Structure 1
Amino acid sequence: MPVESNSGRGATRNPTPTRFNLKEHFVEADWLDEVEALDGVPKRRTTVTIERPKSILTRNSSPDIGFDRSINAYRGCEHGCIYCFARPTHAFHDLSPGVDFESRLFVKPDAAQLLHAALSRPGYECRPIAMGTNTDPYQPIEDRWRITRSVIELLLETRHPFTITTKSDRVLRDLDLLKPAAELGIASVALSVTSLDTKVARTLEPRAPQPRKRLAAVKALNAAGVPCYVAIAPVVPQITDHELEHIVQAAVEAGAPGGFYLPVRLPHEVAPLFRAWLEEHYPDRASKVMATIHSLRGGRDNDPNFFSRMRGQGPWAELIRTRFEIAAKKYGLRNVKFPLRTDLFRPPEGNQMRLL
């Protein structure tokens, strides 16, 4: 049988996970996955598996992250961003961090109910909840499952502060919830814009909305009173770094009150996938890109240390920081976060969620 076609995917490979000593295995595909394309190669289809976790809040104590709890309604992400640092999490399920990560998805339909239980516990201390920290809460399957929306409904009902990070203009579909939440001072959004070049974006993030749509969403959210920042994340040296100033300018023109940047990170299985992607799309500069990343990461593919992992180190890191600061000053982009209120929180009433 011909190998599945990965056309339209970010990863060019689908390696078997080895970090957890899992054995290679073959799984019978759904009959839809067997449909032959015109060239005789079966087209890989997206599959969805329901996941029933016992809890939905993920806690962290990292000193370089501005939140201590997060919610991820989905596992895996159809956007297919080649650089995504969440890819290695698929190996825990005996699935590949490559194409499996962007085509074998998991959904958590009980997310709102689990959050309801967590917020109802005696002694719960209110702090902002971050969404979109691992996989995108507005990836295409949100259209059908609407799990992110159900979580926001509960957060608005209980007046609990939250932040959203996404690459999708689908966030506008929940403007009817985000606007009243922003009026209460409990919501903010960050739209990730990595490149303004549609060709580059199509290879880096093949199934994410085009940059113009994201900037349009930034403009629409801020016009509606929802503070929406722009995240230039990640900055990929020799691929997108030359656009840094242009993205800052575009962010300000779209009404973003602030923004930030993050250099690319290549933890665990992401590094070989990224190398394979470079050889496929940028063979002329692949070695130069990796050499620059090593300069940023202390001679390695990835720097896992607190603080330096977010900014990089060495001359290249200093150059990117200086360029961003000069551009931000020139165009008026503030590097501040919207202060979210925690004093309005009211625990859920009873076992059922209130109607708005």
Structure 2
Amino acid sequence: MQNQRVFHIELESLRGAAAFSVMMLHIILVCLYWGVGDNPVTAYQQLPGDVFAVTQAGIALFNGRSAVTLFFVLSAFVLSANITRADLTPVSYAEFVTRRLFRIIPALWVALAFALIVLPQQRGLMDLVKVFALLDVSVIPVTWTLVLELAACLVFPLMLVAVRQMGMVAQLCALLLICWIMRYAPPPVHYGQVFYDLPLNAFYLGLIVPTIGRALVVALPLAIARVLLAIALLIYATPDLLRTLAALKPDLIANPGLLIEVYVMKIALPLASWYVVAWVLYGEHRLGSAILNSRPLRFLGRTSYSLYVLHPPLLALFAAHLGAHAVGPYSRLGLGMATVIPITLVLSALSYTYVERPGIAAGKRLIAWTRGATTAFVGRARLAGGETPEPSQ
């Protein structure tokens, strides 16, 4: 499985917009749901009506749960696009996992160390080991998604090889099968502070963006393609609003758990995210392309990973020291945005420059060194066995 860098500016910007939306959602929830937790029923009962309405509007606009699903689809597509060979060997598999670890772990460990420094708590040695091994995600709660990302990367090469052996009909049949599996799959596994559910549907959909996704967007008349895009964006904004509606009006939706947590979250939302990615790549959207190629979004795209893991400790620091000094929810929101956003952007840029990029380069050097050492070892073994080394090409 050989790597050849394929770069899509629009997708990187889309990922940056999604990471920024996660940060904005968390700022809104912390600042406007101050003191009431994240239970919509409690918030509805205790907050002024306008504050509750503004919060729900912010949830719809900056939908963090949907952004996570979009991350998974984007990640699968980008990884598959950068792997040009369809064969899989133990060496190529080990190199793929090594690259992912060096891409994810360095910036994550720096963010965890930063969080432990700015929000000190009494922790023993084993507690710290659990934190850095991602067995305890309480320090930076969003890292539960990285646990899933790391777990998925172990099976991703196998999925990629299988998908590339299929025709489009077989890929579509596999998609229907995976949707059926997700419909009847057991509930997520509770471990630590979160519920884990491997996003199989989202990762598979990322693999078939260049086949079924492209064919769908290109073949459809423009008007129908845009209608599907509008539906996809509506689904993208729906999950948390449906949860709130189900909590406030439990008799309005029959079997809300099945509808929201299964049909919307596990099936409809990954499909919507998949269509959005396919539209960005293959659809006609001059205005969207201009926005995604703008400098602010390109900056967010480059720094999206560090932004994602650094904003929670900064927001917690704000809540611990500054939030209580605001005179009301809107002033607290303004203060939170004025402090958390710029500091996060600056630290994310530094992390990208001095942690992420060197980490990626270190992974490449390790792989190159391992290849060289392996080649030298094999050459010495052949010489020791009396074989004539092959002339260099």
State the TM-score, normalized to the length of structure 1.
Answer: 0.24
Which structure is higher in RCO with an 8 Å CA cutoff and minimum separation 6? 2
Of Structure 1 and Structure 2, the greater strand share is in 1
Of Structure 1 and Structure 2, the greater helix share is in 2
Larger Rg: 2
